[in-house]
Amino acid sequence: MIQKHPTNQRLSIRLLKWVLLSALIAGGMLSMGQIIIDALRAMDELDNQAVQILDVVKDPATQAVYSIDPELAQQVVEGLFKQREIRYAGIIHPDNSTLAEKNRALRDESFRWLTDPIFSKEKKYIIELVKGKSEPVTYGNLIITIDTAYKAELFLDRSSVVFISGILRAGILGTILFFVYHLLLTKPLTGIIQSLLKVNPSEPGLQTIPTPKNHKDDELGIWVSTANDLLKEISDNQQKRRAAEARVLKLSQYDPLTALPNRLMFRNHLQNTLDDAKRLEQKIAVLCCGIDDFKSINSQFSYNIGDQLLQSFAERLSGTNGSLQSSLHTASRLGGDQFALIQYNIKNAYNAAKLAEDLLLRLSKPFEFEGSKINLYTTIGITIFPDDGITADELLQKSEQTMTLAKTVSRNQFQFYVASVDSEMRERKSLEKDLSHALENNEFHIVFQPQIDYKTNTIIGAEVLIRWIHPIRGFVPPDIFIPISENNGTIVAIGDWVLNEACKQSAIWRLQGYNIKLAINLSAVQLNDASIEKTILDTLNKHKIPPQYLEVEITETGVMENLSSAVKILTNIQQWGVSTAIDDFGTGYSSLSYLKKLPVEKVKIDKQFVHDLLANEDDTSIVNAIIQLSKSLGLSVIAEGVETLEQEIYLRSHGCDMGQGYFYSKPVKAEEFLNYLLEKPSSLS
Ligand code: C2E
Ligand code: CA
Ligand code: CA
């Protein structure tokens, strides 16, 4: 990751500093040069001035020494002192005796410390006073000293003007230079830096850095286009590297021919799946699929065709969407002609059998290649987690073993690892097949079991129960075939048939003068069927049965599977006058809070609690609790599975309203039920 630098424009500031500093130094130095030249010129001027002064007084001074006239000499000296620069003037004889002289103090000025070192405090000039042209004779000397302060003051004034203007010029030039630099260099550079910061390091070629305006052909423009080329190149390289990595990963985890996960990846994935399943207490099936006689296909056709076949086989295998739409599968090629499948979160081994059967059907359809049809047959070995093993290796090994063994017996079939599971599943499969024809073959009939009211000791109605007489097996208990039909959805048609039969019988009895309230069992699957309300209403109308002569029983678990829709349906049918009862109460969630919400008026205590009543303390207290709970909610209670007088006495004395069970009657056919009615006093007729 590129670190984002704050763009605090340090370069601009440095540039400003350096440009200004060098301009100032240059300006300062140039000014100093000018000042030095000026100083030299001032010194020359001083000398010239002295020469001029001396020239003017030379003659009278000579005359004064010649004639040894102190008065004249004094006049000359006084004349000289009219010049304010003159600090000392004297006319001296050759023997050094003074003819006339005058002094005054040096000007006291604050700048002297600066100028005295340049010009010195004062300057002394001497000229000889000579007379005679052919033979000149020196009669004395004229000496003057000049106070330099006057000249220095002028010099200082000029110098400061020169210095200040020099510095000012340098400053202005420096600032202009800085702005030029800034416009041409640092500003576009800052722009480039900002764009560079926006470049995504993992996709550097995605954005290009814009070329700064008017810099297309200069160094900056070239820099930007070079950088852009570089970024693109880096991006391309990154992409190539990623693609290469992905290829390597794929090669190490997937089968190159079928693109399915290979054995290694499948094994790891299975182990992860098992870890999750263990935590969530789910069941998992591992199906190992081997192609029967693949070697002969290879030798019969070509290896090329063999490869294509394996690819098509893999497609069909992984595209399978078994009986359970919600559960997903993961397919893998273990190697050669062996494949495997994980089936997630199955309810029971039966789900795996269903998937295996679907697979066998799907895979046995002919594959078409170059005009010829090829049939492949498959054998599947199945293991179930956690029943047959808890590790991936264990389950895989056992399912492969089972598949290999099954191949030796017969082909194009599935086999469970455990023999008992296998035979049970086979049984279920064959029942399922037969069940699909049972309705059209008229193999069903219904029976009636009376319900007794404990207050009046009369029959108040009957529960309708279905019976299946299998042409070969004979009686098959509903506890066996109802779950199968719930699993494959045929319960909807079967349930409709029961409802219709019940209403048909009810109508017959009504004609005979018996108004019997019939209770039918509604499965959770039927409750999920959108048309259930209409079916009930239509059936009642068709047989002209008033709704109060129908009751529906639903189980706790059935309601809980889809609470909101169940509540809606039950509320509606209750409004028409149909009674509602909760079946097998106590075996499911048994929660008071949801019982309150449910639109039911009757609770059925499950027969398992009634069975051990008086013998088992727990069951006794459960029965008591259910009765009390129902009473507190204003619901009536019926006990199911009453087999003895003791049970009846207990139930009656504890407030149970009704009873149903072998003690009164087994579920019987319609004619028998009528006989029972005639024997027993009934409140119905
Ligand atoms: P369920 O609704 O709890 O039905 C009561 C079961 O208890 C019936 O079994 C009945 O024969 C049995 N039973 C009645 N009295 C006694 C008794 O005193 N002792 C003993 N040990 N058992 C008694 P069945 O007819 O075998 O039905 C079993 C289950 O099958 C029913 O349980 C119900 O869940 C389902 N079932 C039966 N017919 C239908 C139907 O038409 N539709 C639906 N959806 N389910 C049905
Ligand atoms: Ca029932
Ligand atoms: Ca029951």
Q: Which amino acid appears at position 349 of this protein?
A: A
Whether the CB of 584 sits within 6 Å of ligand 1? yes
Which atom of ligand 1 lies at the shortest distance from residue 606's CA?
3
The string of pLDDT tens digits covering residues 239-251 is: 999 999 988 888 8
- Lookup result for tokens 């003895």: 644
- Please state the domain extents for the chain: 13-160, 204-252, 263-417, 441-679
The CB density around residue 392, as the number of other CB atoms within 10 Å, is 22
- Determine which residue's CA is closest to atom 16 belonging to ligand 1: 641
Q: Which residues contact 206 (CB under 8 A, 6 or more apart)?
A: 199, 200, 235
Sheet order of strands, 137-147 included:
98-103, 86-92, 137-147, 122-131
Asked whether the beta carbons of 389 and 395 are under 8 A apart, the reply is yes
pTM above 0.75, yes or no: no
Report d(CA 332, CA 396) in Å as an integer.
Answer: 12
Question: CA torsion, points 585, 591, 597, 599, in degrees to nearest 10?
Answer: 0
Distance 323 CA to ligand 2 centre (A): 28
Instruction: Please state at what angle helix 491-511 crosses helix 670-679, rounded to 10 degrees.
Output: 40
Distance 426 CA to ligand 2 centre (A): 28
Report d(CA 380, CA 415) in Å as an integer.
Answer: 6
Question: Over the range 548-563, which residues count as b (16 or more CB within 10 Å of their CB) and which as e?
Answer: ebbbbbbbbebbeeee
**CATH class of the region 441-679:** alpha beta
Question: What CATH code is assigned to 263-417?
Answer: 3.30.70.270
| C-alpha distance from residue 684 to each of 239, 450, 470 (Å) | 84, 12, 34
Beta partners for 448?
A: 464, 668
Strands (E), 166-324: 283-291
Sheet order of strands, 378-385 included:
329-335, 338-346, 283-291, 378-385, 414-416
Residues (pLDDT < 70) of the chain are: 1-9, 320-328, 588-593, 681-685
The string of pLDDT tens digits covering residues 135-174 is: 889 999 999 999 999 999 999 999 999 999 988 998 898 8
Three-state DSSP class for residue 119: helix
Q: Which two tokens stand for residue 650?
A: 């207990």
Asked whether the beta carbons of 114 and 175 are under 8 A apart, the reply is no
Three-state DSSP class for residue 87: strand
Ligand nearest to the CA of 482: 1
Residue 615's pLDDT is: 87
**Fold match flag (263-417 vs 441-679):** no
Residue 528's pLDDT is: 85
Distance 614 CA to ligand 1 centre (A): 23
Q: Which residues contact 668 (CB under 8 A, 6 or more apart)?
A: 447, 448, 449, 676
Report d(CA 651, CA 550) in Å as an integer.
Answer: 25
Report d(CA 537, CA 542) in Å as an integer.
Answer: 8
Whether the CB of 521 sits within 6 Å of ligand 1? yes
Closest CA relative to residue 674, chosen from 394, 414, 488, 447? 447
Whether the CB of 431 sits within 6 Å of ligand 1? no
DSSP string covering 372-401: EEE---EEEEEEEETTT-SSHHHHHHHHHH
Element (H, E) at 338: strand 338-346
Which atom of ligand 1 lies at the shortest distance from residue 642's CA?
18
Ligand nearest to the CA of 587: 3
Which bin fits 340, alpha (ψ -120 to 50), beta or left (φ > 0)?
beta
Whether the CB of 115 sits within 6 Å of ligand 1? no
Whether the CB of 662 sits within 6 Å of ligand 1? yes
Whether the CB of 482 sits within 6 Å of ligand 1? yes
Q: Is the peptide bond before 386 cis (omega within 30 degrees of 0)?
A: yes
Q: Which fold has domain 13-160?
A: Beta-Lactamase (3.30.450)
**Which residues fall inside 5 Å of ion ligand 2, going by CB?**
521, 553, 583
